[in-house]
Each structure stands twice: as structure tokens, then as C-alpha cells.
Amino acid sequence: MSLPDSPVLVYADAANPWFSWQFLQENQDAVLSALREHASLTAEAVALAALVAIPLAVLGYWFRPLTAPILALTGVLYTIPSLALFALLAPFLPGRVTVLVGLVTYALLVITRNAVAGLTQVPEPVRDAARGMGYGRLAQLWRIELPLALPGILTGLRLATVSTVALVTVGVLNGHGALGEFLTAGFRAGYRAEITTATIIIFSLGLVLDLVLAGVGRLLTPWARRRAA
């Protein structure tokens, strides 16, 4: 999604308010398009990161000497400045792919660390009981350990989702900043309503996605609610 060449969209008047309903109404198609792209990039990035991070966590859980190197690697990737990473990837990948790779890179640490924590917190007596019932390593993982580790995994997914919602805005460097396009255009034009509108929508999107994942977590882990009660 890209906005018109001019950094100024359609402004309500010559004033510079902090918020303008007229600006939002006159640009609602562009806002909705940016919101859809923002949500899509966030969902795709977190899903791809989970597909990489959870197997890495399982690998570290099964082979404990690998845990520290795995967490160290994801930690080092996390420390790379986002502007630098997106700029370095841009010459080698298409714009949207560049943004996705960058977002996945930053989500890996949070999901991996929380998945490892969730798996290691499975009580040893439970694992012993599963082995005593004849469960192999893979069956034990799928039927016992991953379900019990779900609260930790979901915590990682929630944290990764909220941080990714904010980080998508950096994709403006590659032409796929979604709502970040409005932030950049607002700063260039010095138009406060555009900046405020984008900020409120980004915050609201992060809040809604976090609440959705929290609700999914409650549905998938009823035993955790009973234990907390």
C-alpha cells in the first residue's frame, strides 16, 4: 500500500488541530487500506515467527546444551537496529518481503524465549507419568508438553504481536509502512491530525489483537484459569 506522491492527503482546512474527524472521513479509504495492510503484515510476521521459533524452542528443550546458543542468536538478531536491518535487506528482497523478514527477525526472540520457558516449566512428575504410560518423545511433546506449555507460548505470541504492530511502521522505508505512511506524511507536512490519527489507530490495533489472543488463550487453557482461581 502506498499513499499519493504528495505527503499531504486531504486536509480539512488550513488549521493544524491535534485531531480532525473531517480529515478521517475524507481519507477513510486510505486509512482502511493502511489498516488492513498493517494487520496483515502483523499477522503474517507473527505466524511465520512462531513457525520458526517454536521448533527452535523444542530443539533447545530436547537438547539443553543448545538452549543458550539459540537464545543468544535470537538475542543478537533482536539487537540489530530496525532501520539498519530494513535498509540492509532492501537491495536483496522485494519491498514487502523485506518488511516481513525484518518483522519475523524481531519476533523470534520473544516467542522462542517464552516457548522455552513454558516447556521447561512442565512438571517432571507429569513427564515421568507420560513416559510410564508408554509415550515416546514426539507423542509426549504433542499430547502433554506443548499443551501444558501453551500459557507461556501464548504470552510470547502476545508480546510479539504488540511489538510487531509498532514495528510495522518502520516498513515505510520499503514502501510498506501501512499506517506508518501516515506518520511519515504527517511529520513531513507538520500536520498534527494525521500523526494523531495514525497513532490512535496503531495503538487500538495492538490493543485489540492483544485482547483477541488473551481470549484465545483463556479458551485453550481452561486448567490455567481453574488453577489461578
pTM, 2 dp: 0.86
32-228 homologous superfamily? MetI-like (1.10.3720.10)
Residues of the chain with pLDDT under 70: 1-14, 224-229
**Residue 162 contacts by C-beta under 8 Å, 6 or more apart in sequence?**
206, 209, 210
Spans of all domains in the chain? 32-228
Handedness of CA 203, 98, 181, 4 (dihedral sign): negative
The pLDDT, as a whole number, for residue 228 is: 55
| 48-84 per-position pLDDT tens digit | 999 999 999 999 999 999 999 999 999 999 999 988 8
Could you report how far apart the first and last alpha carbons of the chain are, in Å? Answer: 46
Q: Would you state the pLDDT for residue 24?
A: 83
- The full DSSP string for 97-130 is HHHHHHHHHHHHHHHHHHHHHHHHTS-HHHHHHH
Query: In 10 A of CB 79, how many CB atoms?
Result: 8
Nearest to 150 by CA among 214, 207, 209: 214
Kindly give, in sequence order, each residue whose CB lies less than 8 Å from that of residue 118, ignoring residues fewer than 6 positions away: 148, 149, 150, 151, 152, 153, 155, 156
| Amino acid 97: pLDDT | 92
- The pLDDT, as a whole number, for residue 229 is 54
Q: What DSSP string runs through 179-207?
A: THHHHHHHHHHT-HHHHHHHHHHHHHHHH
Residue type, 201: I
Give CA–CA dist 155/141, Å, rounded: 19
